[in-house]
């Protein structure tokens, strides 16, 4: 398997180095990529992820993302989508960034 074949990418507990230093340029590679998951990662910004989504939408030879999940680490404000960003993402793909799968009703706020 190589990057050309990737359909789903899951990053878990990755520190992208702050200010997107190590965030892969997924707007220009992995032409079959359909789903991007950022699970408890740090060091990236929502704006950088939005730029990836927009780049993939513009490129004819690269598939647009269909699904995006961003579950930021606790206290990572740069990695948490604002209401406006949630609306934008929700218009162009299946987006989940509100509550991670491990949310426990009555314990997590």
Q: Is residue 24 part of a domain?
A: yes
Q: Is residue 105 part of a domain?
A: no
The token duo for 3 is 């990057």
Residue 104 has pLDDT above 50, yes or no: no
Residue 25 has pLDDT above 60, yes or no: yes
User: Which residues form the domain of 91?
Assistant: 3-96
Q: pLDDT for 61-98, tens place per residue?
A: 999 999 999 988 776 777 888 889 999 999 999 998 76
User: Domain total for the chain?
Assistant: 1
**What percentage of the chain reaches a pLDDT higher than 90?**
51
Residue 44 has pLDDT above 60, yes or no: yes
Is the distance from CB of 67 to CB of 93 less than 8 angstroms?
Answer: yes
Q: Is residue 101 part of a domain?
A: no
Q: Is residue 102 part of a domain?
A: no
Place of tokens 């230093």: 21
Q: Is residue 20 part of a domain?
A: yes
How far, in Å, are 22, 47, 80, 95, 105 from residue 8 at the CA level? 19, 21, 21, 14, 29
Q: Is residue 106 part of a domain?
A: no
Q: Is residue 71 part of a domain?
A: yes
**Average pLDDT of the segment spanning 35-52:** 92
Is the distance from CB of 6 to CB of 17 less than 8 angstroms?
Answer: no
**The pTM is what?**
0.83
Q: Is residue 108 part of a domain?
A: no
């Amino acid at each position: 398997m190589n990057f050309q074949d990737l359909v789903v990418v899951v990053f878990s507990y990755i520190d992208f180095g702050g200010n997107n230093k190590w965030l892969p340029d997924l707007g220009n590679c992995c032409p079959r990529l359909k789903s991007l998951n950022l699970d408890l990662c740090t060091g990236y910004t929502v704006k950088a992820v939005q730029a990836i989504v927009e780049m993939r939408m513009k490129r004819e030879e690269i598939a647009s993302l269909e699904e995006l999940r961003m579950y930021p680490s606790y206290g990572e404000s740069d990695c948490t989508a604002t209401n406006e960003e949630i609306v934008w993402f929700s218009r162009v793909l299946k987006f989940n960034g509100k509550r991670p799968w491990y949310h426990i009703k009555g314990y997590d706020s």
